[in-house]
Amino acid sequence: MVNIPETKTETVRRLVADGRYMEALRIAQGFRLGITKSDSDKLRRAHEAASNARFYASIGLDPEKLVYDGILTLKSIYLKGE
């Protein structure tokens, strides 16, 4: 039997289902195909805000809200049908 490697999308879906959101954001923030530009931007901003919270706070954005919005976006895209 051939062992087929897990795709990045499958990996993100598994990480989200396991509640490992930061790991999922790290991978999904680079996705462009199959998701809207708005969702892609939310994932990218969430990953960046988690990594650079002080910068986002310094420009007047709430890094915790950006991360929260990114996690909601992950869940809405990758937990469909569960």
pLDDT in tens, 46-55: 999 999 999 9
**The predicted structure's pLDDT at residue 24:** 96
DSSP string for 28-50: HTT--TTS-HHHHHHHHHHHHHH
pLDDT in tens, 23-61: 999 999 888 778 899 999 999 999 999 999 999 999 999
Query: 47 or 1: whose pLDDT is higher?
Result: 47
Question: First-to-last CA distance in the chain?
Answer: 28
